[in-house]
């Protein structure tokens, strides 16, 4: 009888031990699965679409490289173009996470239409408006020469969609030159096209941003537009309200306006905006 009780006790004890071990293994498996899921979540790739003014192309490409060294799982896809065109695309529902404009007008319109995360809107950069000509040009020394017969064609950005075109019109109007040069003007779809026309000598002169002129070895800056001849050139940026990656977008915007981003932008001639 004692032997039977002893065997029964041993059997029950073994059963308890097996149940305990099973629970431990189950908990461990659950924890390991949770850790795996967490790791997968942290390493999940995210794609951001950034619509940015064409004049930012070179600087933003370098910023992407710098950002990806820190955040390799974040893919940045750029859509460069005229700020007005990009604004229209966003209004029509284009899947955009971030917008960086070359003018406050376009950003203000989107803000009024409640298409932005308002707390993310900030002025990032400033630029200068300059008159350029082909590198070997010798017959243009200033804005007033645009009215002379020796200048046949002048390239400007399309004022309806290109901020530099709007600034250019202001400059020519305030310098009392618009009526004299109107027949010579040809309009480009963005600032990069204006620059290209001057580089290839398809026009005698053009008006672009200082940053665009500085990246080309085929043109030279003839003159800077007087400060009081146009509105300040300010580049605002913001996260789009419908972005599915708002947190990551804010992180990227913080990188652009942070020390490393500023260093890259200043390298390309942009000035960090004092008008936050």
- State residue 212's pLDDT score: 95
pTM over 0.75? The answer is yes
What pLDDT shows up at residue 44?
Answer: 73
143 plus 213 within the same structural domain = yes
Residue 36 domain-assigned (yes or no): no
Sign of CA dihedral 141, 145, 149, 151: positive
For residues 142 and 108, membership in a common domain is answered with no
- Of the candidates 42, 48, 41, the one whose C-alpha atom is nearest the C-alpha of residue 74 is 48
239 within some domain: yes
If asked whether residues 166 and 252 sit together in one domain, one would say no
State the alpha helices, DSSP H only, in 71-126.
83-91, 104-112
Domain match, 85 and 169 both: no
User: Whole-angstrom Cα distance, residue 170 to residue 165?
Assistant: 9
Q: Determine how many CB atoms are found less than 10 A away from the CB of residue 70.
A: 10
Do 196 and 73 reside in the same domain of the chain?
no
pLDDT at residue 29 greater than cutoff 50: no
81 in a structural domain: yes
Question: Residue 9: inside a domain, yes or no?
Answer: no
Query: Does 267 reside within a domain?
Result: yes
219 & 140 share domain:
yes
- Position 61 scores a pLDDT of 98
Are residues 152 and 66 part of one domain?
no
Give the residues across from 48 on adjacent strands: 76
CATH number at residue 244: 3.40.190.10
51 and 176: one domain? no
| Residue 103 within a domain | yes
CB 126 within 8 A of CB 175: no
Domains in the chain, number: 2
Q: Please write the tens of the pLDDT for every residue from 119-178.
A: 999 999 999 999 999 999 999 999 999 999 999 999 999 999 999 999 999 999 999 999
Instruction: Answer whether residue 27 shows pLDDT above 70.
Output: no
pLDDT at 67: 98
pLDDT per residue as tens digits for the range 33-89: 444 443 333 457 899 999 999 999 999 999 999 999 999 999 999 999 999 999 999
pLDDT of residue 130: 98
Is 15 within a domain?
A: no
> What SS3 state is found at 202?
coil
When pLDDT is averaged across residues 232-237 and rounded to a whole number, the result is: 96
- Asked if 141 and 119 sit in the same domain, the reply is no
Residue 201 belongs to domain spanning: 129-224
Q: Are residues 88 and 101 in the same domain?
A: yes
- Residues 247 and 174 placed together within one structural domain of the fold: no
Residue 174 sits in the same domain as residue 101: no
Residue 32 domain-assigned (yes or no): no
Q: Does residue 30 carry a pLDDT above 50?
A: no
């Amino acid at each position: 009888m004692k032997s039977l009780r002893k065997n029964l006790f041993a059997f029950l004890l073994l059963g308890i031990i097996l149940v305990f071990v099973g629970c431990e293994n189950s908990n461990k498996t659950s924890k390991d699965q949770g850790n795996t899921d967490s790791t997968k979540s942290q390493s999940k790739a995210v794609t951001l679409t950034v619509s940015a003014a064409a004049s930012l192309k070179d600087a933003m490409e370098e910023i992407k490289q710098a950002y990806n060294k820190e955040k390799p799982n974040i893919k940045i896809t750029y859509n460069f173009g005229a700020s007005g065109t990009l604004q229209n695309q966003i209004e029509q529902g284009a899947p955009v996470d971030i917008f960086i404009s070359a003018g406050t007008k376009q950003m203000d319109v989107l803000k009024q239409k409640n298409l932005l995360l308002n707390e993310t809107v900030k002025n990032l950069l400033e630029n200068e408006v300059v008159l350029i000509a082909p590198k070997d040009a010798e017959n243009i020394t200033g804005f007033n020469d645009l009215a002379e017969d020796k200048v046949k064609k002048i390239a400007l950005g399309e004022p309806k969609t290109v901020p530099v075109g709007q600034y250019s019109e202001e400059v020519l109007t305030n310098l009392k030159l618009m009526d004299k040069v109107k027949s010579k003007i040809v309009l480009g779809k963005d600032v990069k096209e204006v620059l290209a026309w001057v580089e290839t000598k398809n026009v005698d002169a053009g008006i672009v941003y200082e940053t665009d002129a500085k990246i080309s070895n085929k043109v030279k800056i003839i003159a800077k537009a007087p400060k009081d001849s146009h509105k300040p050139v300010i580049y605002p940026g913001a996260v789009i309200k419908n972005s599915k990656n708002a947190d990551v977008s804010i992180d990227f915007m913080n990188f652009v306006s942070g020390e490393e981003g500023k260093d890259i932008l200043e390298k390309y001639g942009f000035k960090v905006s004092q008008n936050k």
